[in-house]
Amino acid sequence: QGLKPIVPTESPAPISGTTSKLASGLPATDSFLGKNKVTDLQKIFQRSDGLPVHLKRGVPDTMLYRTTMALSIGGTIYCLIALFIASQPRNQ
């Protein structure tokens, strides 16, 4: 009664009859992917302007940061209130 292997030991049979073709009419280049923005983002994030990395991109990052902080503080206060209410004895 040993342990049975989860993965089969034999390799599966090759699937024949299927071909993988590129769609005709599409260019072989990756022009549909758009411009590579990595170098632009590296310039933004490596600038020494005294801002932390999570606030480098301006207003969207600031709004996301403030929303996250507000939800975290609100959740902490809610948990503390719930613990306080749960710790009080019930009146009968």
Where are the alpha helices (H) located in the chain, listed in sequence order? 38-45, 59-87
How many CB atoms are closer than 10 A to CB 34? 7
Looking at per-residue pLDDT, the higher value among 23 and 49 belongs to: 49
Domain assignment present for residue 42? The answer is: no
Candidates 63, 62, 40, 60; CA nearest to 52 is 62
Which tens digit of pLDDT belongs to each residue from 41-90? Answer: 888 888 888 888 888 888 999 999 999 999 999 999 999 999 999 999 88
State yes or no: pLDDT of 13 exceeds 80. Answer: no
Domain assignment present for residue 78? The answer is: yes
Domain that holds residue 77: 52-91
State yes or no: pLDDT of 23 exceeds 70. Answer: no
Q: How far apart are CA 47 and CA 56, in angstroms?
A: 9
Report the Cα 12 to chain-centroid distance in Å.
34
Q: How far apart are CA 83 and CA 56, in angstroms?
A: 38
Domain assignment present for residue 57? The answer is: yes
Q: Please give the tally of structural domains in the chain.
A: 1
